[in-house]
Amino acid sequence: MLGIIGAMDEEVAKIKEHMTETTIEKIAGMEFHKGILEGKDVVTVRSGIGKVNAGICTQILIDHFGVNAVINTGIAGSLRGDIKIGDIVLSTDTVQHDMDASGFGYSYGQIPRLDTLSFPADEKLIDLAEKCCREVNPHINVFRGRVVSGDQFVSEQTKKDTIANIFEGFCTEMEGAAIGQVAYLNKIPYLVIRAISDNADDTAGIDYDTFEKQAIENSAKLMIAMTAAYEG
């Protein structure tokens, strides 16, 4: 069974519209929609915004629903000039940019007493997502790269530059690395899919409002196509 997480209702609404035989179970204030999508068993859920919500949601999907893979779909701010609004980033790995235990000798972003800085995404899911994206979203570019997460909406150029320089990230958002951490600890495959809604700089608020809908549309189309092709 495949677990599909979106932080906001808008990010999973179109996916739920395509589901059949749906039942709903409410746990920890989240509605888990279990059913069939493109012939596959899935559970789709709005986690809520932020790393804590995303982490709780992922663990519930694993423990209660027994999913064997998790995909997080949604939107993000670009950290690179060549990644434009509307493009899609597929996570090679994820890292938490607002974790700082450097005073204890850890690298920026590394969680103390974990054996890794970042959480590698599943190569098979990355390959499948890239193939499907080129088929259903031929008008945009798709990138493989690091997704960096923090409990912040990045909308300032200096903050963007700092995150981009330290972590060499492709985009920034607020959930992916928490999902990656839970998947890593539970040893299940995961992938973060992010459609770019803004440039994470001083224009981010304006860009987000303008391009959010199209970015979500691109991400949802990819998620539906991936599910149809998924063989896990």
Give the catalytic positions in this structure: 11, 198
CB 173 within 8 A of CB 155: no
Q: What is the DSSP string of 120-149?
A: EPPHHHHHHHHHHHHHH-TTS-EEEEEEEE
What DSSP element (H or E) covers 14?
helix 9-17
Please provide the DSSP assignment of 150-183 as one string. -SS----HHHHHHHHHHH--SEEESSHHHHHHHH
Say if residues 40 and 165 touch (Cβ distance below 8 Å).
no
End-to-end CA gap in the chain: 8
Cα separation, 180 vs 54, whole angstroms: 10
